[in-house]
Amino acid sequence: MTLLHVLTGPAWSAGLPTTPDNSFLHLCSPEQLDFVVARHFRQRAGLIVLHLDPTQLIDVRWEASEPDMAPFPHLYGPLDPGAVMQVETLR
């Protein structure tokens, strides 16, 4: 299964996302992508979706964060550049 990370064009231009101290990067499954974009990136243009190989990620935890939805993956370790399989522009 591929995991996804959504970010804005300017954030992507700033470089590979990093995990803030004592925090995590929000990821999603392909099935959760539409929800994530609608909920967190409404009316934003130039969105970037990183397609990530989960076997190259350290410390991914599936955690409940939205009522009545399947758990979402969160990356608590570093995002290894080798985990990025594809960079897709959404809109």
Per-residue pLDDT tens digits for 19-73: 777 789 999 999 999 999 999 999 888 999 999 999 999 999 999 999 999 999 9
How much is the pLDDT for 30? Answer: 97
The token pair at 74 is 């969160």
Measured in whole angstroms, the distance separating CA 37 from the mean position of its chain's CA atoms is: 11
By the 10 Å C-beta count (0-12 exposed, 13-18 middle, 19+ buried), 81 is classed as exposed
pTM as predicted = 0.92
How confident is the model at residue 8, as a pLDDT?
92
Q: What is the pLDDT of residue 77?
A: 87
Give the per-residue pLDDT at 72: 97
Say what the pLDDT of residue 54 is: 97
User: Is the CB of residue 27 less than 8 Å from the CB of residue 4?
Assistant: yes
Helix (H) or strand (E) holding 65: none
